[in-house]
Amino acid sequence: MASYAELAEKLPEHEREHVMSLANDVLFMRHKLAEARADLYSESIVIPYDNGGGQSGIRANPAFAEYEKLLKSYTAAYDALKAALGKAGKVKPVKVNTVAGNSKWKARANG
C-alpha cells in the first residue's frame, strides 16, 4: 500500500498541488469532526429554548446539525481525494492526533 504522498508524487505537478491541498483539508475536517464528536458526547440532541416572548419549549441542538454538515463536507472531500488519486494504488489509513481539547493538530500519512 502506498501513502497519499507517494500516490501524489505520481501525478503531474499541476495536479499534485491541488491533491495535497485537498488532503490537508480532509485531515483538518477529520480532526474537527473528532473534536466536535468529543464535545457532543455530553450534549443532548434537543435543548430547551425561551425566546422571551412567551414561547418556550425544546428544539433540536444546532451543534448536531453543524456536525452533520461538516461530516457531509468531509465525506465529499474524501471521495474527491480518492477520485483524484485514481487507481494509482491502495492507500494506507491516515493517522490524526484527535485528542480532545488539543488546539494544535498533527497529521501525517503513513509510509
- pLDDT one-digit tens code per residue, 8-66: 777 777 777 888 888 889 999 999 999 999 999 999 999 999 988 889 999 999 999 99
Range of the domain at 73: 4-109
Count of structural domains within the chain: 1
pLDDT of residue 12: 74
Residue 110 has pLDDT above 60, yes or no: no
> How deeply is 45 buried, as exposed, middle or buried, from its count of CB atoms within 10 A (0-12, 13-18, 19+)?
exposed
CA pair distance 26, 98, nearest whole angstrom: 14
- In the numeric block, the cell 480532545 is attached to 100
Residue 31's H or E segment, with its range, is helix 13-40
